[in-house]
Amino acid sequence: MRDPLFSIIDHSVYIPHSRITTEDAIRQVKDDGIDFWMSESAYRGNGFELVPVEQSLSLEQMIGAACTPILSRASQREIRIAAIIFACVTNRDQSDRHLFASLVGHFGLEQVPVIPLEEYGCSTVHLSFRLAEAFFAACRGGDEAILFVTADKAKASNHRSDSYMIYGDGASAALYQKRHGEGQQVFTTRMKVDGLLYDAAPERIKLYFSTFYLGIRQVVRTVLGDCGMGIRDIALIFCTNLGLQTWNTFAQVLGFPLEKFYAQTLSEEGHIHNTDILHNIDHAVKNGFLKRGDYYLTVTVGFGGYYGCSLHRYD
Amino acid sequence: MNKTEMYISIHYAEAFISDRRQPLWERIVQLLSADMQRVKEIDLLCYCHQTNPDPGMIGCSKIRNELNLTGVFPLVVGQSGSLSFTNILTILNWLFACGSHRRALCVIADSRLKAIGAETNSYLTQISIVCVTEEHGDYKIEDHRKDKGSQRTCLTDSAAEPFLQLYRQEKNRAIDENEQITLHFEAGEFGRSELKLRRMSFSSFNGRLEN
Answer whether B57 sits within 8 Å of A198, measured CB to CB. Answer: yes
Confidence of residue A94 (pLDDT cuts 50, 70, 90): low
Answer whether B153 sits within 8 Å of A97, measured CB to CB. Answer: yes
Provide the CATH number for the domain around residue A135: 3.40.47.10
Q: What 3-state class would DSSP assign to B50? A: coil
**pLDDT exceeds 80 at position A141:** no
**pLDDT exceeds 70 at position A37:** yes
**pLDDT exceeds 50 at position A10:** yes
Share of chain A above pLDDT 90, in %: 90
Do A103 and A239 belong to one domain?
no
Per-residue pLDDT, averaged over A242-262, amounts to: 97
* Mean predicted lDDT score pLDDT of chain B: 87
Q: What 3-state class would DSSP assign to A42? A: helix
For residue A1, being part of any structural domain is answered with no
Pairing of strands B44-48, B103-113: parallel
Confidence of residue A140 (pLDDT cuts 50, 70, 90): low
| Pick from B87, B97, B99: CB nearest A113 | B87
Which of A67-76, A305-314, B149-158 has the least mean pLDDT?
Answer: B149-158
For residue A85, being part of any structural domain is answered with yes
Considering only alpha carbons, which residue of chain A is nearest residue B59? A198
Answer whether A83 sits within 8 Å of B62, measured CB to CB. Answer: no
Q: What confidence score (pLDDT) does residue B150 get?
A: 72
Considering only alpha carbons, which residue of chain B is nearest residue A94? B155
B59 vs B119, residue with greater confidence:
B59
From residue B111, give the alpha-carbon distance in Å to each of A69, B31, B123, B152, B158: 39, 16, 6, 21, 9
| Pick from B58, B98, B151: CB nearest A134 | B98
- Give how far A137 is from chain B: nearest CA, Å: 6
Q: What confidence score (pLDDT) does residue B153 get?
A: 66
- Give how far B177 is from chain A: nearest CA, Å: 31
Do A170 and A265 belong to one domain?
no
Fold exhibited by the domain B7-201: Peroxisomal Thiolase; Chain A, domain 1 (3.40.47)
Share of chain B above pLDDT 70, in %: 88
Do A173 and A194 belong to one domain?
no
- ∠ at Cα A273 (B110, A294), nearest 5°? 130
pLDDT tens digit sequence for A267-308: 999 999 999 999 999 999 999 999 999 999 999 999 999 999
CB atoms within 10 A of CB A116: 23
DSSP A260: G
Confidence of residue B206 (pLDDT cuts 50, 70, 90): very low
Answer whether A139 sits within 8 Å of B64, measured CB to CB. Answer: no
Answer whether B58 sits within 8 Å of A97, measured CB to CB. Answer: no
The beta strand positions in chain A, using DSSP E, are 6-14, 19-21, 50-52, 80-87, 114-117, 144-152, 170-177, 184-193, 236-239, 295-302, 306-314
Do A124 and A33 belong to one domain?
yes
| Pick from B1, B78, B149: CB nearest A139 | B1
Do A99 and A48 belong to one domain?
yes
Do A82 and A153 belong to one domain?
yes
**pLDDT exceeds 90 at position A156:** yes
Do A165 and A197 belong to one domain?
no
Cβ neighbours of B56 in A, within 8 Å: 199-200
Answer whether B73 sits within 8 Å of A193, measured CB to CB. Answer: yes
Answer whether B146 sits within 8 Å of A115, measured CB to CB. Answer: no
Residue B97 near residue B2 (C-beta atoms within 8 A): yes
Do A173 and A190 belong to one domain?
no
Q: What confidence score (pLDDT) does residue A163 get?
A: 93
pLDDT tens digit sequence for A54-92: 999 999 999 999 999 999 999 999 999 999 999 999 876
Do A234 and A301 belong to one domain?
yes
Domain ranges of chain B: 7-201
Cβ neighbours of A94 in B, within 8 Å: 155
Cβ neighbours of A200 in B, within 8 Å: 56
Q: What 3-state class would DSSP assign to B62? A: helix
- ∠ at Cα A113 (A130, A155), nearest 5°? 85
Considering only alpha carbons, which residue of chain B is nearest residue A93? B79
**pLDDT exceeds 90 at position A213:** yes
| Pick from B59, B91, B99: CB nearest A115 | B91
Q: Which of A177, A204, A226 finishes a domain?
A: A177
| Pick from B60, B61, B77: CB nearest A115 | B77
Q: What confidence score (pLDDT) does residue B15 get?
A: 94
For residue A267, being part of any structural domain is answered with yes
Give the closest residue to A281 by CA, choosing from A314, A242, A232, A247.
A314
Q: In angstroms, rounded to a whole number, what is the distance separating the alpha carbons of residues B121 and A107? A: 42
Q: Which of A108, A143, A177 finishes a domain?
A: A177
Q: In angstroms, rounded to a whole number, what is the distance separating the alpha carbons of residues B134 and B122? A: 39
Per-residue pLDDT, averaged over A20-27, amounts to: 97
Q: What confidence score (pLDDT) does residue B145 get?
A: 87
Domain of residue A137: give its range. 6-177
**pLDDT exceeds 60 at position B211:** no
Cβ neighbours of B75 in A, within 8 Å: 117
- Give how far A238 is from chain B: nearest CA, Å: 25
**pLDDT exceeds 50 at position B210:** no
Q: What confidence score (pLDDT) does residue B58 get?
A: 85
**pLDDT exceeds 60 at position B205:** no
> Interface pTM (ipTM) of the complex?
0.95
For residue A204, being part of any structural domain is answered with yes
Q: Which of A143, A177, A211 finishes a domain?
A: A177
Per-residue pLDDT, averaged over A44-53, amounts to: 97
* Mean predicted lDDT score pLDDT of chain A: 95
- Give how far A230 is from chain B: nearest CA, Å: 27
Cβ neighbours of A135 in B, within 8 Å: 1, 94, 98
Do A285 and A173 belong to one domain?
no
For residue A26, being part of any structural domain is answered with yes
Domains of chain A: total: 2
Q: What confidence score (pLDDT) does residue B208 get?
A: 53
Residue B145: beta bridge partners?
B194
From residue A81, give the alpha-carbon distance in Å to each of A85, A114, A161: 11, 11, 34
Per-residue pLDDT, averaged over B83-92, amounts to: 95
**pLDDT exceeds 80 at position B105:** yes
Q: What confidence score (pLDDT) does residue B22 get?
A: 77
A200 contact B CB<8A: yes
Q: In angstroms, rounded to a whole number, what is the distance separating the alpha carbons of residues A123 and A300? A: 5
- Sign (positive/negative) of CA torsion B152, B156, B159, B163? negative
Do A21 and A157 belong to one domain?
yes
Mutation target vs A (from B85, B94, B148; most A CBs, 10 A cutoff): B94
Do A158 and A304 belong to one domain?
no
CB atoms within 10 A of CB A157: 16
